[in-house]
Amino acid sequence: MGWIGILALAAALAMDAFAVAVASGLVLNPMRRRQVFRLSFHFGLFQALMPVLGWAAGSTIYRFIAAFDHWVAFGLLAFVGGMMFLGAFHRSGEKLERRDPTRGWNLVILSVATSIDALAVGLSLALIGIPILVPALVIGVLTAAFTGAGMLLGRRIGTLWGKRVEAVGGLILIAIGIRILVEHLAG
């Protein structure tokens, strides 16, 4: 996987975090730098660690599924991307509580919830034999940057963007899954 593929994957995974960050920016009044740092750091950290965990699990089972690994990778990415895409249109106006989402259990729950898809992506990368260190670092850094930007934008643009960016993120994951499948079947 080249740099463009890694950046596209990282951007797609960062969309959930971006959407949550926009919503967080809407509820934090006033919003402090420390809150932006906390949410950005934790989202980036969790997004970097989850693909490593998925990759480790994928590496241990690879020899059992090598013959159909491309189908598994496609299926996982299509499932996660499809859930992100559908979720962008089927949520009924969810809003974060008025409590600070950058503290305590709210922070932990949001960090885990926005990084679950990265676990499946890490498993997918292991199944197709891609080393995880560089993608995990890029995913973490880009997610942290998207989170900070999302919080700042949340103060300015309103709630409409959250659903749109999550839908785009889902479509990007599905496209990456299709590309993996086509490359394997054609090559």
Token pair 């498993």: residue? 123
Amino acid type, 70:
H
Q: Determine the 3-state secondary structure of 97 from DSSP.
A: coil
Q: Which of 3-12, 25-34, 119-128, 169-178 has the lowest mean pLDDT?
A: 169-178
Q: How far apart are the first and last CA of the chain?
A: 14
Q: What is the mean pLDDT of the chain?
A: 81
Q: Is the pLDDT of residue 38 over 90?
A: yes
* Tokens encoding 140: 């973490």
pLDDT band at 168 (very low <50, low <70, confident <90, very high): low
Q: Residues 52-111: pLDDT tens digits?
A: 998 998 767 666 766 777 787 788 778 877 876 777 676 555 543 446 788 888 888 888
Whether residue 30 is preceded by a cis peptide bond, meaning omega within 30 degrees of 0, is yes
Which residue range forms the structural domain that includes residue 91? 3-186
Residues 6+ apart with CB under 8 A from 158: 26
* Tokens encoding 138: 């890029």
The DSSP element (H or E) to which 105 belongs, if any, is helix 104-113
Count of the separate structural domains present in the chain: 1
* Tokens encoding 9: 């994957």
The b-or-e profile of 8-28 (16+ CB within 10 A means b, else e) is bbbbbbbbbbbbbbbbbbbeb
Measured between alpha carbons, how far is 60 from 187 in angstroms, rounded to an integer? 25
pLDDT band at 119 (very low <50, low <70, confident <90, very high): confident
Q: Is the pLDDT of residue 28 over 90?
A: no
